[in-house]
Structures are given as structure tokens and as C-alpha cells.
Amino acid sequence: MSNESEEAKKEEAAKSQEAKGQGEKKLKGWKDIPIGGKILEPGNSVGYKTGAWRTFRPVHKPELCTNCMICWMLCPDSAIKVGGVNDPNKGHKGVSDKPNLGNFGGFNLDFCKGCGICASECPFKAIEMHEENEFKD
Ligand code: SF4
Ligand code: SF4
């Protein structure tokens, strides 16, 4: 095989790799990281979804929930949402069917790491931890 055709193949492979990477966030190399690993863009953690390696997933039991929001206060990843709009739990104890910032609004699974603090601290046992492999999504 000639050098020219080898070069052309390499170029094509590089282009296809580039196309695959389109839309994906480009990771910084070590030379791009500020000295001391300082974070220069405040609030940037929202751009990094950190729930992918979760082993256990919290599951809400609306019939037991009183909207005390202790889980919201204690979640280290701010992964408890508020404001249960069109709450499917309508009719259950303490849960409003109207948007309300004081209501439990579900889990943000993009950021929940499955630590289980919410489940162990909920005074009403309204959160259970289940193995992640029980879920299809
Ligand atoms: S701690 Fe338990 S009862 Fe309180 S809002 Fe969370 S799930 Fe509901
Ligand atoms: S399992 Fe941990 S990270 Fe996930 S919602 Fe509960 S307290 Fe937050």
C-alpha cells in the first residue's frame, strides 16, 4: 500500500472520530486545567452529570410522604426536587395536586449518587433504596 493511500485512510478515520465526537463535551487536557485545579467558573457542576455510576436508586413512597422536606435538606447532591406539579400522588396524605415549592417533587437522577441518606433520614420511611439494575431506564 502506498504512503499516500495510508495517509488518506488515516485522515478519513480521524474525520469519522471527529464526527462521532460532535455534540459530546470535549474534556480538558492537563495543560488546560488551571494551576492548583482551581475552579474558575462558579456553578459549573450543573454541567457535569454525576449520577451515572449510581448503584442504588431512591424510590419514593407517596402514601407515606408528609412533605416534611427533610430529604431535600439533607441530600448532599441537591438531587431532591421541589414543587410537585400535577403530582401523580394526588389524594395521598400531605401531597398537594397544585404546584407548591414546599412539596416533594421527585429525584433528579442526573445528579443522585444513590448514597441513601434521604432514605435513612426520612422520618416516615417514604423513600426506599433499590438496586439500579431493577430499572430499565
Ligand atoms: S423526608 Fe420523607 S416524608 Fe419528608 S419529604 Fe422527604 S420523602 Fe417525604
Ligand atoms: S440517594 Fe443520596 S444523592 Fe440520591 S437523592 Fe437521596 S440523598 Fe440525594
pLDDT tens, residue by residue, 62-110: 889 988 999 999 999 999 999 865 555 555 555 556 667 778 989 999 9
Position 23 in a domain: no
Position 104 in a domain: yes
CATH classification at residue 87: 3.30.70.20
Position 125 in a domain: yes
Mutating to test ligand 2, I would choose from 115, 125, 132 the residue with most ligand atoms within 8 A of its C-beta, which is: 115
Position 29 in a domain: no
Position 89 in a domain: yes
Position 64 in a domain: yes
Read off the amino acid at residue 27.
Answer: L
Read off the amino acid at residue 55.
Answer: T
Position 95 in a domain: yes
Cα–Cα distances (Å) from 99 to 29, 70, 106, in that order, read 44, 19, 13
Q: Cα of 59 to ligand 1 centre, how many Å?
A: 11
Nearest CA to ligand 1 atom 4: 68
Q: What is the pLDDT of residue 92?
A: 54
Nearest CA to ligand 1 atom 6: 71
Count of domains observed in the chain:
1
Q: Which residue range(s) make up the domain with 75?
A: 53-134
